[in-house]
Structure 1
């Protein structure tokens, strides 16, 4: 029989193992990853109830997340004509809370001690290396380890059969690569510094060779942000960008599909943005928000509303009336978190979502300018890239991409909160939650 005093420690260990397994499970076991996220969240709530520790609900970013979550549920209630939701949408909105509790569990309990944070970093680095190695192997041989070749337009798929490598790798690239790069270039030995530059260049080169446009652009943004926060990284960042530019310039020879995706197709889509799939999605989401400016259409509002002809409005209706692509424009989501927030919850939902995002970045970036640290900068850059407003994205709570984000978020919040100069001794994971 388990001693009563040992029970909280056992729960913490189960939650810690579950949390560490989330990142590898996100590769090819999304249902398992979701179950692990939920298990971690539930065990955290059990411990909070046992210890009577609920002050974290009033701290930092949590009230902003609660406000947006409650509004999302309210907008998802079926009460026409005011509210356009459904009980299925309401249930999905309610279940979003597991991601917020998961991040809070990492920040407030599981990652208080330096050792679990180090273990999580090793896990993230292993997953990033695995994706990168699979991409390089596929580039060299034409197939990944499982026999899958490039995707239709020539994108490298890495360990997947679909083009998922770029969006997933960019979410964990900086916290995985930045710490070893900074450790290498801080050494006096020239060979170590060269190795640091090559490692950074390799990361950029892999992202370019994958051939997915948005991940490449976000990688460049992340490198700029990291270099601004870490002065020692600036020359390395320039070198890495030069390496990436050389790879891109040589891509017509070394990887024609990459050149087609990153240069030719991207240029064509930008020249004809309003008639591109992304431009049509933007206009459809904008129309849904205009017709429901206060409450939106509830959770999954874009998916549920997109097939309705009342929203089929194009860009130039005043001069050349059109249906905005009609039914063929419809997707599961508008491919942008902020458009999703507005179609789900109207303009109030968009404002609450933006406040939540700003609270996350504020808490993760606390003291970072004065005391830059490679791990924290990598995590901050990764979170900023995921939340960057001018980007094509998956749905906000869609796994696997958002799963990586909430791991990064909880880890980054924990690093910001517990890696302080005044903290002279580590706090064990079983310690009660402090104010």
Structure 2
């Protein structure tokens, strides 16, 4: 068997295993990310195909990554980096290389993209079924009950179901929904509406605020991209609203989390944990505007008294000091600014815009359910007004990089003619037949 085919088969299997591994085997998932990235680089070195480094989003990601490393250098002030921070900044590149491997190497052909879709749909269905079972019985398949505030945890011990499911909900749900509602038979159309409503109902019943808000945004964007989905999206929103309105009766913990607690936090945002983290991140950036504090700068700098400043700037307002500190500021963009100052924030934002630009190319003119679902998933993950995990934190960001590479591959290869595809860079999958 040719070496190129052996390498690609190993990488393809690793890529397909990443999504299920993200459920409960983060270390394995991280290893699989690295395996795919390293095998891709090895194949590029063997074949001399490095043109992808100059294409599309890659130069923007490279610029941000280089700046992140510069800001993490263990040098005297104005640098605040360290050897551990620099090492973490260096290895962050594995996620970008993974996405590039999917776009330029592993997902050139339709079959691997279809296999990946099946895997993602299976993982999304697994999380959803576990949540519904837990809602109905009080326990999931493993015996775990609801979390302390009543959130459904699905197949997890902690409340992770909402943030993880919303990252893959739309690429998993939109293709079958669109396939059903475009049929002539009313039964199929009704099944498509019911499937969409069920997906939204699950997100509401999980009871986590940000995933529910992002789901609503995703429905709106999906309806804009897919005209035939608009009535179904409206019906799904109505179904979600009905579930929320009935939640005081059918799921009181959901009502408490999504209505009472959320309203209270918004009314008192500045003194809420999220508001205080935002203020602390702003202060770190204001005092380190050029180089930030390097990779993980917020975690390292949050407990430094020089940044103990509240919203009022009164002498006694210290923003609750070190008691509010977390490992990250709960927002990608404030994390980018605390890591790399304002230049880091600008470079990060340009990288995000390049990703969304490349994933959306031609989508408005030629609506497609798979591509729309992937674009929506990426947009929701990168939405700036959101509470998030750290940018490279698994498992949540792991789903994003799978979606990113898959979406970029769909954009690049779905409409490419076989002749032009073979001229650009021959694919071992196309040349050797079925795997």
Q: Give the structure-2-normalised TM-score.
A: 0.97
Q: Is 2:266 the counterpart of 1:287?
A: no
> In the alignment, is residue 222 of structure 1 matched against residue 221 of structure 2?
no
- Classify the secondary structure of the residue corresponding to 1:56: helix
* Equivalence for 2:269: 273
Match of 2:65 in 1: 69
In the alignment, what sits opposite 1:29?
25
Give how far 1:425 is off. Answer: 9.2
Mind listing any 5+ residue stretches in structure 1 that lack a counterpart?
Answer: none
Following the alignment from structure 1 to structure 2, what is the Cα–Cα distance between the partners of residues 371 and 129? 28
Alignment partner of 2:349 out of 341, 349, 354: 354
Alpha-carbon offset, residue 429 of structure 1: 4.0
Distance 1:177 1:328 in 2: 41
1:430 aligned residue = 428
- Partner of 2:200 in structure 1? 204
Distance 1:325 1:120 in 2: 46
CA distance in 2, matches of 1:420, 1:115: 15
Which structure 2 segments of 5+ residues have no match?
431-435
TM-superposed deviation, 1:82: 1.6
Residues 363 and 413, structure 1, Cα contact 8 Å, conserved in 2: yes
* 1:109–1:430 Cα contact (<8 Å) kept: no
SS of 2:7's partner is: helix
Q: Which residue of 224, 247, 250 maps to 1:251? A: 247
How many aligned positions are there?
427
Distance 1:370 1:148, change over 3 A: same
Give yes or no for contact 1:12–1:429 (8 Å, CA) kept in 2.
no
Q: Does 1:366 align with 2:380?
A: no
Is this contact kept in 2: 1:113–1:426, CA < 8 A? no
1: CA distance, partners of 2:345 / 2:414: 32
Is the 1:176–1:378 contact (alpha carbons within 8 Å) kept by the matching residues of 2? yes
Q: How far 1:325 moved relative to its partner?
A: 1.3
Structure 1 residue 78: deviation in Å? 1.4
User: Following TM superposition, by how much is the alpha carbon of 1:321 offset from its aligned partner in structure 2, in angstroms?
Assistant: 3.1
Q: Is the 8 A contact 1:114 1:426 kept in 2?
A: no
Match of residue 329, structure 2, among 306, 320, 334: 334
Deviation at 1:386, TM superposition (A): 0.1
State the alpha-carbon separation in 2 of the partners of residues 50 and 425 from structure 1: 22
Alignment of 1:393-408 (within 5 A): 393-408=388-403
**Counterpart position of 2:414:** 419
Deviation at 1:126, TM superposition (A): 0.1
1:166 alignment partner in structure 2: 162
User: Aligned-pair distance for 1:423?
Assistant: 5.0
Q: CA deviation at 1:327?
A: 1.0
Work out the CA distance in 1 between the residues paired with 2:418 and 2:353: 26
Tell me, in whole angstroms, the C-alpha distance in 2 between the residues paired with 1:122 and 1:425: 28
1:384 and 2:382 are equivalent in the alignment: no
The whole-number CA distance in structure 2 between the counterparts of 1:29 and 1:426 is 36
1:296 to 292, 300, 305: 292
Distance 1:412 1:421 in 2: 15
> With structure 1 as the length reference, what TM-score do the two structures score?
0.97
Query: For the residues of structure 2 that align with 1:325 and 1:7, how far apart are their CA atoms?
Result: 59
- Does residue 321 in structure 1 map to residue 321 in structure 2? no
Deviates further, 420-429 or 388-397: 420-429
Larger displacement relative to structure 2 (413-422 or 268-277) = 413-422
Point out 4+ residue stretches in structure 1 off by more than 6 angstroms: 424-428
- Which of 209, 212, 216 is the aligned partner of 1:213? 209
Aligned to 2:307: 311
Among 107, 113, 119, the residue aligned to 2:115:
119
Question: In 2, Cα distance between the equivalents of 1:262 and 1:18?
Answer: 38
Conservation of the 8 A alpha-carbon contact between 1:185 and 1:193: yes
Matches of 2:294 and 2:421, distance apart in 1 = 44
**Counterpart of 1:39?**
35
Q: Deviations over 1:381-424 (max 9, x none)?
A: 00000000000000000000000000000000000000116457
Cα distance 1:400–1:172, how it changes in 2: closer, same or farther (>3 A)?
A: same
Measure how far apart 1:31 and its partner are. Answer: 0.2
8 Å CA contact 1:204–1:241 kept in 2: the answer is: yes
Aligned-residue offset at 1:205 = 0.1
CA deviation after TM superposition for structure 1 residue 431, in Å: 6.8
Matched with 2:433 is: none
For residue 162 of structure 1, give the secondary structure of its aligned residue in structure 2.
coil
Q: Does the CA-based 8 Å contact 2:109-2:429 persist in structure 1? A: no
Q: Do the aligned partners of 1:90 and 1:299 also contact (CA within 8 Å) in 2?
A: yes
Give the CA RMSD over aligned residues.
Answer: 1.3
Q: Distance in 2 between matches of 1:336 and 1:322?
A: 23
| SS in structure 1 at match of 2:428 | coil
1:79 Cα shift? Answer: 1.0
